Structures are given as C-alpha cells and as structure tokens.
A and B are shown apart, each in its own frame.
Chain A
Amino acid sequence: MDYLCDKLEWFKSVILPHEGALRARLRSLRQKPESLDDLVAEVLLRAYSDAAWRGVEWGRAYLFTIARNLLIDQLRRAAIVSFDTAVDLDQLQSNVNLEAQLTTRDQLRYVERVIASMPPQAARVFIARRIEQKTPGQIAEEMQLSVSTVEKHLHKAIRLLMRAMAEQEASGVEQERSEHEGSDRATGR
C-alpha cells in the first residue's frame, strides 16, 4: 500500500506537472487532435508502468524521451519516414535545464481562472466543497439541490480542472519555445 501511495505521489509531483508541456510539444509535431489524446495517454501510461520509477526525478525529460521512442516505433511501422518528421522528433529531446515548475501563486491564479470559466453551478459547488469544506449534504441544502446533483456538479468541475491541467504548460521558457514553434506550425500545415 505504501508502495502504491509513493508511486502515485511521485506521479503527481514529478510527472503530471509536465503533461501540458508534453501535449504542447506533441501538438507542435503536427499530431492530429484525435491521435494527440491517445498519444499523451499512452506516454503517461508507459511512464507510470516503468518499474524503475523511483530513479526518475526530471519528469519533463522523461516524458519527452518516452514520447520520442513511441513515435520512432510508430514511424518504423509506417516504414516510410519523411525527412521532416525525423527532424521534428529531435524537438522531443529535452534539456533538463528547462525543467521548471510554476510557483504556487502562479498555479493558484491559473486554477482561479479555470474555476471562473466553469459553469456557475459547478464552480459554486466546487468552491463550497473544496475550499469551504462543506459536505455534499450541506451544499445540497444551501443550494436547494439534490445530493446527487451536487455530486454531478462536483464531478464535472473536477473533470474540467483535469482538462485545464492537461493543457497547462509549466514554464516560461517552454512558452517562449512554443511561440517559436508556432511559426513552424503555421507553415507546416
């Protein structure tokens, strides 16, 4: 049980903060939106399944390496590799110096924005449960909703937050880079 907890804790703090950067980078490699989600999911799955996870400290480099290997495998299967694609793959070589995490304050500001953009009911329920730490029963009473409706809103709010988190990039450096890549992307399609 401790092992499972440790591993989940590792995954949350070392790997997941870089999910957004991974997604952005894969997107810049002109992955189609439908395969993008599959690809990100597969990379995360492989990251989690690595038996040597305890040695992994630098989530970004680790995720990028997995993604790169995965794409190379796919390309091998596809047999014909365009020169462009091979060059693009080099972008997945991450420099660990670029590892960065948002400060708590940046993080919270981001979460605030996400909450502000949620449907009002979902936002209210989330704030009541998560921040005011009221029980679903109390919230249901106050908002004159059924408990199951409260739970539905809460469920929705968390999933919106998960989606936002998956898009969030972790560092200023990374954002600068993405802007450069933006121009590549524009000509590449």
Chain B
Amino acid sequence: MSNKSGPSTREAIERQAVDYLLALNGAPDETVRQQVAAWLRSDPAHAVAYARAERAWELADGLDKSEAATRSPTADEAKEKLLPPARLTRRRALTGGAIAATLAGLAGVGWFRQRDGIATAVGEIRDIRLPDGSVMHLNTNSRAVVRMTGSRRLVRLLQGEAFFDVAHDTARPFDVEMEGATVRALGTAFNIRVRAELVELTVTEGLVGVRTEKGMAEHVPAGQGAFIQPRTLALARLQDGEVEQRTLWRSKVIELNGESLGQAVDEFNRYRPEPIVIGDQRIAPLRVGGRFHIDEIDQFLAAVRQTLPVETIVQDDGRILLLYRPDDDVVPAGPGESSDA
C-alpha cells in the first residue's frame, strides 16, 4: 500500500477536500474553481476525498430544519414532504460559461439534483411523478433509484416492474438502467419488467432504444416488445391485446388469456404476501382465462373451481392450496407430463 494512503496524509486530504467543498458552496471566484479542478485532477485520492465530502453534504438534501433539529429518531415516519420539490432554477443562476457550469456540478449543488430511492411493498402499486414531469408507475415489490441531472434523466430499476410515461425533452434523454442493459427514450411510454432470467420490454408509444451491456442495440417501436439479456436482444411483435395485457397492472387488473394455471398463480403471487401454492403438478399446465382484479383473489379461485378440476383450500396462515379434484368430468390435460419430474 502506498504511503499516500497513510492515516495522516489521508486526514490532511480529507480536510482539504472539505475546505474546497465549503469554498465552492460559498461564492467562489474563477481562480478558486480552477484551483479546485486542478487539485482534483492531480491525484485520485483527492477526487475520492472530495466525492466523499460532497456525498456527505448532499445527504442532507431534503432535510427539513424543524425535523432535523427536533425530531427524535423514533418519531413517526409519515413524512412524504421530505421528498423535496426539484429546485431547478438554482442551476440557471449558476451557469456562466462551461467551466462555471460544470464546477457548479462539483460544488455539491445538490439542490438541482434529485436522487430518490423508491420502493413498493408486495401488493402495492404506486404512481410517482418525477421532477421532469414524467410519471413512473411502480408495480408490486419493486425498487428504483431516480437521478436527474441537467443533461440526463436516469432511473435505475433494481427490481420488479415499472411503466414509464416519459415527458418529452429531446435535450435530456430518459434512461432506464437494469442489470445488463439500458433503455433510452426521448418522449414515449413503455413498460419494463425485470424477471429472474431476462428483462421484458413493452413499448406502448413512440420509439425506444435498447442497448445491452455487451453492446447489442436495437430500436423498438410502439406495439413491439423485446426480451433482453446481456448477450441477447430478441424483438417480438406483439399480438393485439398483448400490449394491453402486459400493462393492465396499472389498473390493478390481471388478464389471463390461455395462460397456464402455473403462470396465473405466479402472476397473482407477485401481489400476495402469502402465496397460492399448486399442490398437485398435474393441474399446473391447465389453461385459464378471464380478467381479475389483483385484490379480488376469491373471484379468481371461484373461476378456477368452476372451470377446472381443482379444489382450493385456504389455510390458516393465509396460503391457498390448489389440489386436483378427481371426481370431476373434466380430465386434466396431459396428466403425468407436468414438470414435477
């Protein structure tokens, strides 16, 4: 390990970084800005220290003074107001030439960047209006981080599914990043579902660009979808109704159109803390149809009982067990061919 990373040097660098951070947050003149930029470039350890200082500074973005000063840590958490309005005007006041603009970026001007981690619980669906006017509909059990800068709108979808209504802004591309791929839009609407093995993209309006980590790239127009993996990018022309089916979750509706019972159960289970369990794999491949509200599981179960040789048992812990009901006229399709082997 180099001498540079020794504790005393590190502390000196950290002090310098904090001093520069404060200087840039005051009313720095051009000389100071250039001095800081030169200092940052001269040693990566300087840049690391500065980034740490700036992050610490920005962490306080959105703190409300009364709360910071008086709230006890255990006080109630209902405080949506902590998500601050985007304060975009500040940036304009600071821009004056390229160097000034970018150094405003350096200076921990957190007030023109809004960075939010947003998550939904199992069964929760939330519409979130982003600072640029776009709307992100976040489906059950999903997580996203939003980052808006002057030149870029970025959402990192870490988990789950989201539908984006993107506000038009050709100067600032709207990017959604998942593991292995990025989807870019200028002003359109599209749905992204992060599945275990792949990402499923559905475009409902406009045109969307996809680029995978391994450099595959395609444009996907409205009415089409794509299956995305780091090394594969497969476009799919969607049937009539398929686009709607994939985005109906926004109205809390699941549409089944010949899906197998296994797939249907998986779909409902996304919204349920206690799962529906298929207790007999012979019934898993049976086909089901119909439209159901996500919260009205009883209707789905009733439909299953009516149309299929299946009995449904609600257990004490809230789980619902689906079993084959042999005393029925209907013969399950392909018994024994199911995948329990």
Q: Measuring CB to CB, which residues of chain A are less than 8 angstroms from any residue of chain B?
A: 1-2, 4-5, 7-9, 11-13, 16, 19, 34, 37-38, 41-42, 44-45, 48-49, 55, 57-58, 96, 99-109, 111-113, 115-116, 123-124, 126-127, 130-132, 135-136, 151, 154-155, 158-159, 161-162, 165-166
Residue A159 contacts which of B14, B59, B149 (CB distance < 8 angstroms)? B14
- Supposing A37-B7, A135-B26 touch, asked if A1 and B51 sit within 8 A by C-beta, the answer is no
Q: Mark B158-171, 1 if CB is under 8 A from A, else 0.
A: 10000000000000
Q: Which of B1-45 contact A (CB under 8 A)?
A: 1, 5-7, 10, 14-15, 18-19, 21-22, 26, 37, 40-41, 44-45
Q: Which of B41, B55, B82, B116 has the most CB of A within 10 A?
A: B55
Residue B102 contacts which of A2, A16, A115, A162 (CB distance < 8 angstroms)? A2
Q: Measuring CB to CB, which residues of chain B are less than 8 angstroms from any residue of chain A?
A: 1, 5-7, 10, 14-15, 18-19, 21-22, 26, 37, 40-41, 44-45, 47-48, 50-60, 62-65, 67-69, 71-73, 77, 79, 82-83, 98-99, 102-103, 105-106, 115-119, 143, 145, 147, 149, 156, 158, 177, 179, 213
A71 shortest CB reach to chain B, Å: 12
Cα A151 to Cα B56 with chains together (Å): 16
Cα A159 to Cα B47 with chains together (Å): 16
Specify the main secondary structure of chain B where it touches its partner: helix
Cα A48 to Cα B43 with chains together (Å): 10
Cα A57 to Cα B182 with chains together (Å): 11
Query: Is the beta-carbon distance between A5 and B102 smaller than 8 angstroms?
Result: yes
Residue B51 contacts which of A12, A126, A159 (CB distance < 8 angstroms)? A12
Query: Is the beta-carbon distance between B99 and A1 smaller than 8 angstroms?
Result: yes
Query: Is the beta-carbon distance between B65 and A127 smaller than 8 angstroms?
Result: yes
Q: Which of B18, B79, B149 has the most CB of A within 10 A?
A: B18
Cα A37 to Cα B105 with chains together (Å): 28
A122 shortest CB reach to chain B, Å: 13
- Supposing A104-B62, A159-B14 touch, asked if A16 and B55 sit within 8 A by C-beta, the answer is yes
B89 shortest CB reach to chain A, Å: 14
Contacts of A116 in B (CB 8 A): 72-73
Query: Is the beta-carbon distance between A12 and B55 smaller than 8 angstroms?
Result: yes
Q: Which 3 A-B pairs have the closest CB atoms?
A: A161-B56, A103-B117, A162-B56
Task: With CB as the reference atom, state the residue of chain B lying closest to A46.
Answer: B44
B88 shortest CB reach to chain A, Å: 16
Query: Is the beta-carbon distance between B37 and A162 smaller than 8 angstroms?
Result: no
Query: Is the beta-carbon distance between A38 and B7 smaller than 8 angstroms?
Result: yes
Cα A57 to Cα B83 with chains together (Å): 25
Task: With CB as the reference atom, state the residue of chain A lying closest to B80.
Answer: A105
Specify the main secondary structure of chain A where it touches its partner: helix
B78 shortest CB reach to chain A, Å: 10
Query: Is the beta-carbon distance between A103 and B119 smaller than 8 angstroms?
Result: yes
Query: Is the beta-carbon distance between A131 and B68 smaller than 8 angstroms?
Result: yes
Query: Is the beta-carbon distance between B47 and A48 smaller than 8 angstroms?
Result: yes
B274 shortest CB reach to chain A, Å: 20
18 inter-chain pairs at a CB distance below 8 angstroms, sorted by A residue, are A1-B102, A9-B105, A16-B51, A19-B52, A45-B44, A48-B47, A55-B213, A57-B156, A103-B118, A104-B117, A104-B118, A108-B63, A112-B67, A112-B73, A131-B63, A159-B18, A162-B14, A165-B55
B90 shortest CB reach to chain A, Å: 10
Contacts of A104 in B (CB 8 A): 62, 82-83, 115-118
Beyond the given pairs A2-B102, A101-B143, A115-B63, 9 more chain A to chain B contacts, judged by CB atoms under 8 angstroms and listed by A's residue number, are: A41-B5, A42-B1, A57-B179, A100-B158, A135-B26, A158-B22, A161-B59, A162-B52, A165-B52
Query: Is the beta-carbon distance between B102 and A102 smaller than 8 angstroms?
Result: no
Cα A7 to Cα B37 with chains together (Å): 13
Contacts of B177 in A (CB 8 A): 57
Query: Is the beta-carbon distance between B53 and A162 smaller than 8 angstroms?
Result: yes
Query: Is the beta-carbon distance between A58 and B179 smaller than 8 angstroms?
Result: yes
Query: Is the beta-carbon distance between A112 and B52 smaller than 8 angstroms?
Result: no
Cα A111 to Cα B60 with chains together (Å): 7
